[in-house]
Homo-oligomer: A and B are copies of this chain.
Amino acid sequence: MRQSILFGKTTRQNPKDEVSVNAQLLVRGGFVAKVMAGVYAFLPLGLRVLERINTIIREEMNAIGGQELLLSALQSKDLWVKTGRWETLRDVMYQFKDSSDRELGLGITHEEPLAEVAKNSIRSYKDLPLYLYQIQLKFRNEPRAKSGLIRLREFFMKDLYSFDRNQAGLDAYYEKSKTAYANIFRRCGLDAKIVEASGGAFTKDFTHEFQVLTEAGEDTTVYCESCAFAQNTEIATAKAGETCPNCSGTLKEGTSVEVGHIYKLGTKYSKDLDLIFTDEDGSMKPVVMGSYGIGPGRVMATVVEVHHDEKGIVWPKEVAPYDVHLVGIKNQESRIMEAAEKLYRELQDVGIAVLYDDRDESAGVKFADADLIGLPWRVVISEKTLARGSVELKARSTQTTELVAIEQIGKRFK
């Protein structure tokens, strides 16, 4: 992509109405634009990051047997009344009437419609287990949207639902999902703790959140530095400074962002919605369900909270919108930009995603934008480098630069 035509301009000043680091940097870098409080548009750069995160999620969900489908945002009241959640979720679910005076809602989660659609396909134990997921637009009536892209009124959610014959099946898949989630966050460059938490409007049982410790966090986690013990303070019995109940370590407390949440739902929804199967012995049983959520936009915002410096974002490789920022420093000689154009084509030919700064701007402006946008590698081609048949290579995460022969540079990214 040529930066001269890329939609979304960078800005030096922080937007006045943004207090969170993630929104400040994502708006300044031209990744997103604010539509209203809690609602953002994804500009081309931001959409590329979102799609890369979605790709990672899809790969890991497919690897544990997930099949992708896509349900609707519009929900009929009738279905949600059956589980009691038309009332219990009323405060956070947009609910309104259509032109026929029928009550509709916008989905904030999809246990009800997923169980409903699964009814047509689950009849016998032979149809189980079944794992279905979607990456789908959800809505939340959020009175005080804050924290930039961490807490939104409209957001994508990857929600997987598991359907098992019995508790043992659910338990096994639940553990598998923990590993898949750990893979996802690691690949996105996040160190997520598995934290015991309450089930909220979903289940009475304890659940597990995936929390990333950051200053921008909205949740507070009590955790042990020596072992995996971690609890959301909502349910924590132990306090910071005390000895860990699992080991001899000392507990600490930190604010954290919830990037994922998994729930053992059991038979609550299958009983309310008549999702019943015939088991091997002929008996009729309710399906045992679990649900597993990740917000890709929130992951993106959390990555920015964790990976940035005073100059801008420092994207981890697997989620960066492009691999390389190719910066041509113009002077009177046309051969510099000719060499840059040639390199731009060659890098793309070997499968490297390149953002090419072909603009008529000073080196200072171009370097500042490269730091702000934060691609993993910056490649500068100028009169000085060209005199030595080279380009200047710099990783965004380090300060050191290095001269690399032009014909060798493609190989460095493989």
- Whether the pair B42, A7 counts as a contact (CB closer than 8 A) is no
- Whether the pair B91, A70 counts as a contact (CB closer than 8 A) is no
Q: Nearest Cβ distance between residue A328 and chain B, in whole angstroms?
A: 18
Complex alpha-carbon distance, A73 and B69, angstroms? 20
A332: interface (CB < 8 Å): no
Copies assembled = 2
Which residues of chain A in 113-138 are interfacial with respect to chain B, using CB atoms and an 8 Å cutoff?
113, 117-118, 120-121, 130, 132, 137
On whether A36 and B130 interact (CB within 8 A), knowing A67-B6, A120-B9, A143-B100, the answer reads: no
A139: interface (CB < 8 Å): yes
- Whether the pair B141, A35 counts as a contact (CB closer than 8 A) is no
Complex alpha-carbon distance, A154 and B105, angstroms? 12
A72: interface (CB < 8 Å): yes
Which of A47, A69, A76, A154 has most B Cβ within 10 Å?
Answer: A69
User: Interface extent on A, as a size class?
Assistant: 35 or more
- Whether the pair B99, A141 counts as a contact (CB closer than 8 A) is yes
Q: Nearest Cβ distance between residue A348 and chain B, in whole angstroms?
A: 14
Residue-wise, chain A 31-59 has the 8 Å CB interface mask toward B (1 for contact) of: 00101100111111011001000000000
Residue-wise, chain A 47-90 has the 8 Å CB interface mask toward B (1 for contact) of: 10010000000000000010111111110100000000000000
Contacts of A33 in B (CB 8 A): 117, 120
A98: interface (CB < 8 Å): yes
Q: Nearest Cβ distance between residue A131 and chain B, in whole angstroms?
A: 9
Complex alpha-carbon distance, A99 and B145, angstroms? 12
- Whether the pair B130, A76 counts as a contact (CB closer than 8 A) is no
A-B CB proximity, top 3 nearest: A96-B96, A42-B70, A41-B71
Q: Nearest Cβ distance between residue A205 and chain B, in whole angstroms?
A: 26
A153: interface (CB < 8 Å): yes
Complex alpha-carbon distance, A97 and B305, angstroms? 32
Complex alpha-carbon distance, A104 and B46, angstroms? 24
Contacts of A132 in B (CB 8 A): 7
Which of B8, B35, B47, B69 lies in contact with A76, CB distance below 8 A? Answer: B35
- Whether the pair B69, A154 counts as a contact (CB closer than 8 A) is no
Q: Nearest Cβ distance between residue A140 and chain B, in whole angstroms?
A: 10
Q: Which residue of B lies closest to A70 (CB)?
A: B42
Which of B41, B68, B100 lies in contact with A117, CB distance below 8 A? Answer: B41
On whether A7 and B154 interact (CB within 8 A), knowing A99-B143, A113-B35, the answer reads: no
Q: Nearest Cβ distance between residue A116 and chain B, in whole angstroms?
A: 8
- Whether the pair A91, B96 counts as a contact (CB closer than 8 A) is no
Q: Nearest Cβ distance between residue A265 and chain B, in whole angstroms?
A: 18
A202: interface (CB < 8 Å): no
Q: Which residue of B lies closest to A110 (CB)?
A: B41
Q: Nearest Cβ distance between residue A252 and chain B, in whole angstroms?
A: 36
- Whether the pair A73, B154 counts as a contact (CB closer than 8 A) is yes
